[in-house]
Amino acid sequence: MTVLDLGSGPGRDARALAGPGVRVRAIDHSPLAIARGRAVPGLPAELEFEEADLLSAVAATGTASIDAVYAHVVYMVFSDAELDRLAREIARVLRPGGVHLFAVRSTSDPIAAEGREVAPDVRIRPPDTEPLRYFRAGTLDRLRAPGLERVAAEETPDRRVWYVSDRRT
Ligand SMILES: C[S@@+](CC[C@H](N)C(=O)[O-])C[C@H]1O[C@@H](n2cnc3c(N)ncnc32)[C@H](O)[C@@H]1O
């Protein structure tokens, strides 16, 4: 099977996922993260790092060619339009039965009340300069493009993070 790890950072999760029968494309636009990932000794042969914008990388991926798309705490940086585009592209690249597994920060997280709100649920918390979106149940639906059905959406017991799984119909 082929897995996309979107916003993989240095590939902690990608290393755990890759192995016999599971090829993982770990995609991140940070040259530092990719360099750190590639420098780890003993990487599985099935793991490849790609320094790229994840939206462009998914858009350049073949239709129905991917078994799982995974993104751990990444989608908070995207605008409404980018989330809509990403969800459509993920639905396109997944094979029927393929899964989209993602984690995003929740509006229930106490830090989601800090800083300055620049759009609904989008805040800049000093010293950060980049706005970050916090997700509520309704916002998670943005990522359920036509062709994707929701399997589960659960907050962690401390209610800081949502873990969501969708399946390609
Ligand atoms: C909070 S880190 C999470 C890293 C990793 N998934 C983890 O859980 O350890 C978010 C990552 O997303 C990457 N990222 C953000 N926007 C991106 C984009 N448009 N294209 C590729 N990577 C992106 C950042 O460089 C960063 O490594």
Mean pLDDT, residues 77-91: 97
Model confidence pLDDT, tens digit, residues 38-73: 999 999 999 999 999 999 999 999 999 999 999 999
Mean pLDDT, residues 86-99: 98
Q: Which domains does the chain have, with CATH numbers?
A: 2-168 (3.40.50.150)
Instruction: Please state, in angstroms and rounded to a whole number, the distance separating the CA atoms of residues 111 and 149.
Output: 30
CA of 142 to the centre of ligand 1 (A): 19
Ligand 1 atom nearest the C-alpha of 9 is 27
Instruction: Please state, in angstroms and rounded to a whole number, the distance separating the CA atoms of residues 64 and 78.
Output: 24
Residue 159 near ligand 1, beta carbon < 6 Å: no
Question: Is this prediction's pTM over 0.75?
Answer: yes
Model confidence pLDDT, tens digit, residues 93-142: 999 999 999 999 999 999 999 999 999 999 999 898 899 999 999 999 99
H or E segment and range at residue 99: strand 94-105
Please choose from 4, 72, 74 the residue to mutate so as to test ligand 1's pocket, defined by most ligand atoms within 8 A of CB: 74
CA of 116 to the centre of ligand 1 (A): 22
